[in-house]
Amino acid sequence: MDINRRNLVNVTAVAAAGAMATAPVPARAAPLPSTLGRDATHSGVRPNSPGDQTRALQRAIDDAAKAQVPLALPPGVYRTGLLTLPAGTQLIGVRGASVLQFTGGASLLSGDGASGIALTQLTLDGGGIGLGDRRGLVHIVNGVDIRLRDCDIAGSGGYGVWFDSVGGEVSGNTIRNSADTAFTSFDALGLLVAQNTIRDAADNGIEILRNTIGDDGTLVVNNRIENIRAGAGGSGQHGNAINAFRAGNVIVAGNRIRNCDFSAVRGNSASNIHITGNSVSDVREVALYSEFSFEGAVIANNAVDGCAIGVSVANFNEGGRIATVQGNVIRNMLPQRPAGTDPDDGAGVGIVVEADAAVTGNVVENAPFFGIVAGWGKYLRDVAITGNVVRNTAIGIGISVVPDAGTALVTGNVISGTSRAAIAGMDHARIATGDLGRDGAAKFSQVVIGANVLR
């Protein structure tokens, strides 16, 4: 073979490639691309140092925000106390490798009156260190255009994330092992909470709250929420996957919720709430709740398997009214609510409504007591129960028939496998009539019973 310079170069390259293919390559985290912004180590920050990095990190954050460039944290552990986020902070890490390890203080990351903050691909390790009252490991007040994305927030000794008067986006994060609620928002200014995984919170999963009743409009969509405990006890304030309080026009859609001490979704004085397309299993109180002084609730196309009550639209005595409960599949109700709730509160019921409500196209199965209940004492007005399938219950449909109770229409339903009655008149929790489905309801002018199928 004619060996010349070109052939020698080619042979050498092939040999080198073969050697690289067989030699072991040590595993290491990918370097930070230069496009991410300023490298924090150029500002004196030292990954994996046993010493405290708070001062160096704060200086690097301040300088990068002032220069309007992102600050990139290379892989490593950074021990730090409270870091204050000025306006325009853009802090980015390597997913699963850039760890801010909390050493104590009011919070780990805090912003007050600062907008345009982005926190991305960081691991925030709270270490279970206690926080002050109403403080989050991430704590942001009075800011718009806040972005918290693709972060792992673990072991907060208080709230995982606390927002107050904030607009922006919380998406793609994992928030786990919080000593209080995983994510709390007060008085949102246009907020999206989407595609997060929330596990093992000792209070609530997601709270959307307002100091006074008003429009909120937060979107809580496509999150996975599991293992929510009512660590503080109570009769329903804690132990909920999603809790909207005084917050109007909140949309709760497409979430997967499992294993909660109390409710999957609880709307308290939350008008025009939408609870749609959620998958719920193993919750131990009311699965989907709209209660107290609200006007307007849409509860549709949810699947609930395992709860004390599937859907409750209640408190007409407080002004709670106007709802559609449509297209839900609700099954396997429990015969009692958790400890701490009022012993007079019911359980073993598929759907409960009181005023100005349409209950249509639902399937309810395996309720120890009632499939559907309309009204509580005199608190019944203008309820239509049509086109539902109710199976394997003691009583298929119960209707309040006390004096001053309002109108109910019950027609076109299929009621199968009842052990006591298909349709019964109720005096609060007491059965006050025979089977109205078979005997007729002529003596109750406000109750209209049509062509139901009874088996």
Whether residue 422 contacts residue 415, with contact meaning beta carbons closer than 8 Å, is answered with yes
Q: Domain 98-454: give its CATH architecture.
A: 3 Solenoid (2.160)
In angstroms, the Cα distances linking 197 to 36, 86, 255, 283, 389 are: 26, 27, 10, 18, 34
The mean per-residue pLDDT over the stretch 347-370 comes to 98
- Higher-pLDDT residue of 5 and 444 is 444
The mean per-residue pLDDT over the stretch 293-303 comes to 98
- Cα–Cα distance measured from residue 131 to residue 156, given in angstroms and rounded to the nearest whole number: 8
Name the β-bridge partners of 430.
427
The mean per-residue pLDDT over the stretch 365-384 comes to 98
Q: Which residue in 183, 189, 206, 184 sits closest to 143, CA to CA? A: 189
pLDDT per residue over 387-425, tens digit each? Answer: 999 999 999 999 999 999 999 999 999 999 999 999 999
Whether residue 300 contacts residue 328, with contact meaning beta carbons closer than 8 Å, is answered with yes
pLDDT per residue over 75-125, tens digit each? Answer: 999 999 999 999 999 999 999 999 999 999 999 999 999 999 999 999 999
Helix (H/G/I), strand (E/B), else coil: 9: helix
On the question of pLDDT at 40 being above 70, the answer is yes
pLDDT per residue over 205-246, tens digit each? Answer: 999 999 999 999 999 999 999 999 999 888 889 999 999 999
Q: Which residue in 387, 349, 346 sits closest to 366, CA to CA? A: 349
In this prediction, residue 345 carries a pLDDT of 80
pLDDT per residue over 43-66, tens digit each? Answer: 999 999 999 999 999 999 999 999
Quote the distance between the C-alpha of residue 314 and its chain's center.
21
What number of other Cβ atoms are within 10 A of residue 150's Cβ? 17
Query: Given pLDDT bands bounded at 50, 70 and 90, which one contains residue 14?
Result: very low
On the question of pLDDT at 341 being above 90, the answer is no
Cα angle for residues 423, 429, 434 (degrees, 5° grid): 35
In this prediction, residue 140 carries a pLDDT of 98
- Higher-pLDDT residue of 132 and 23 is 132
In this prediction, residue 36 carries a pLDDT of 66
Cα angle for residues 58, 62, 63 (degrees, 5° grid): 115
- Cα–Cα distance measured from residue 135 to residue 120, given in angstroms and rounded to the nearest whole number: 21
Helix/strand/coil (H/E/C) assignment for every residue in 102-144: ECCCCCCEEEECCCCCEEECCEEECCCCECCCCCEEEEEEEEE
Q: pTM, whole model, 2 decimals?
A: 0.91
